[in-house]
Chain A
Amino acid sequence: MRVVRLVVVTWWLQLKQSMKAGIFVFTALIEPLIFATLAYYLFKAGREPGTLLYAALSAGLMGIWSVTLFGAGGAINYQRWQGVLEPLIAAPPPYVLILFPQTLAASTVGVYSLTSTLLWGWIVFGIPLHFAHPLAFVISVAVTIVALGLLGLVIGSSFILYREANALSNMLEFPVWILTGVIVPLSLLPGWVHYLSWGLAPTWGYRAIRAGALGGNAWPALGYALLLAAAYFVIGHGVVHVFERRAREKATLSLV
């Protein structure tokens, strides 16, 4: 019960803090609108336009990843700048139970991205919002957000040890968009890339969301996303433990 309370309170606190930061609001709301606009004109002007709902949806999903990456990447550095990283690590609960809700809060903010791009597409470009399977769509979004939060945990944990890791996280935005097939079909990418894509939970989460919105069976992809999310938690737990130990040994926790 105390673990659940810790996770929920930390998640809620982080969510509220995130929505006060201008850069976070930009990443969650404005950047996805920029990409939604671009995607709309690209698909509208192209000779293979597909559906415009696909474009709006893709831009929203891209936004969820951006905001997860930014939030998960920044979580530890913010704690470091505020001087609370050491007390948090020294506190009795395992640090993974503090970091996970923070990265989960980051991916939760992604709901704003998805909502804003869909509304933008509907209001500005007149894209009709007809979802093939609304229930599957909502469940898929929820599962994808949890999976992204756990992927964020794995990525964010490196910040315990490497204070410049945020530069690496900046670099990961476009590659993961490509690898997960969020806006480009995986069939266009070289064959070896598919193996990397299959190991990423967002690939399956996005597939499920798309099936829920545009039609298709969302449940198998959802199963894979959940499976990978569980694997990320195990990996994240191990990595946080190892990195925390090394940072203590090297006395680098508070180095900004």
Chain B
Amino acid sequence: MTSLRVFFIGGLTSYRALFNWLTPWILIPSFLIAPLFQILLFAYIGRTTRLESDQFYVIGNALQYAAIPCLFAMGNTISGERYQHTLPLVLATPAARLPLFVGRAVPVVVNGFLVAAFGLVVGGAILGVHVPLGAVAPLILVTAVTAFSCTGLGLVNAALALRVRENAVTSNVLFGLLLVFCGVNVPLSTLPSWMNTIAQGLPLTHGIEAGRRLAGGASLHDVLGLVGAELLIGCVYAVVGYTLLRVVETESRRRGSLEVA
């Protein structure tokens, strides 16, 4: 029962604290307006270079923008607690660590999903991108799975935040790497093979590919392999992230570096 409370209430409270108690002045520009302009910028670059269609950029960038909440919010669950001087208190409690850390990830998955879905709907409407009606439900599934896998990487980022003071930098670097490597704006086939190989092990790559195929008329059955791969990658990152969190937490206690990382 206590673990359930830590999971749900602790996770929700931590999430609310991330955004200065959810002031719309922070939420709206960061999560709703910025992704639309990222979509527009790359769609216009695409038109300039005549590389791909608007649909390619809407799906790629909308799904990729889920990484903003998934990476930053997960990293900030640690660095934000440190900034507020509550990190040692939280980690001194006897609360089970699995609900403590994973509970903080659940609202982030929902946030990432909503940001990506908003980008898909509004970005698509602005640029006049049409998606077959039958693809809507599978696209929702793909968006949710992509947000989950990104949050897995976010857990790794949270572990890094226990050791790195400037976690915003690591979040930004990870966000940039996903933008370059995952075929968000440049087709994977045109990237060097070593970049393509790395992309196969990153979140987003398979989700974006699945989203594009669905929008192109493929059925859910056709993209199940891609969705499964995205889900598996998310699970692997989540396990690695959680394990790292435990290891680094123990190490930080030993070194007395929880507040000074």
Contacts and interface: CB of A to CB of B under 8 A. Distances in A.
Nearest to A30: B173
Interface string B118-149: 00000000000000000000000000000000
Given A167-B29, A170-B34, A184 B45 contact: yes
A49 B49 contact: yes
A183 interface: yes
Give the interface size bracket for A toward B. Answer: 35 or more
A37 B181 CA distance: 10
A127 to B, nearest CB: 16
Interface centre among B20, B45, B168 (most CB of A within 10 A): B45
A22 interface: yes
Interface stretch (A40-48, A114-122, A196-204): A40-48
Interface of B: 20, 23, 25-26, 29-30, 33-34, 37-38, 40-41, 44-51, 165-166, 168-169, 172-173, 176-177, 179-180, 185-187, 190-191
A30 B49 CA distance: 24
Interface centre among B49, B165, B168 (most CB of A within 10 A): B49
Interface string A86-121: 000000000000000000000000000000000000
A101 B169 CA distance: 25
A78 interface: no
A184 B48 contact: yes
A220 interface: no
Given A42-B49, A170-B34, A184-B44, A34 B179 contact: yes
B50 A47 contact: yes
Contact of A188 (B48, B172, B173): B48
A189 B168 CA distance: 33
Given A164-B20, A184-B44, 4 more contacts: A25-B169, A31-B176, A39-B45, A171-B34
Interface stretch (A173-181, A211-219, A223-231, A245-253): A173-181
Contact of A174 (B20, B40, B176, B187): B40
Given A23-B169, A48-B48, A184-B48, A164 B187 contact: no
A207 B40 CA distance: 21
Dominant secondary structure of chain B at its interface with chain A: helix
Contacts, number: 103
Closest A-B pairs by Cβ, 4 of them: A46-B49, A174-B37, A22-B166, A34-B176
A184 B49 CA distance: 9
A168 interface: yes
Contact of B44 (A39, A171, A178): A178
A32 to B, nearest CB: 10
A38 interface: yes
29 contacts: A22-B165, A23-B166, A31-B176, A34-B176, A34-B177, A34-B179, A37-B180, A39-B45, A41-B186, A42-B46, A45-B49, A45-B51, A46-B46, A46-B49, A47-B49, A47-B50, A48-B49, A50-B48, A164-B25, A167-B25, A171-B34, A173-B37, A174-B38, A175-B37, A178-B37, A183-B45, A184-B48, A185-B48, A188-B47
Contacts of A48: 48-50
Interface centre among B26, B46, B176, B177 (most CB of A within 10 A): B176
Contacts of B173: 26, 30
Contacts of A171: 29-30, 33-34, 37
A34 B195 CA distance: 14
A45 B51 CA distance: 7
B29 A168 contact: yes
Contact of B41 (A22, A50, A170, A177): A177
Contacts of A175: 37
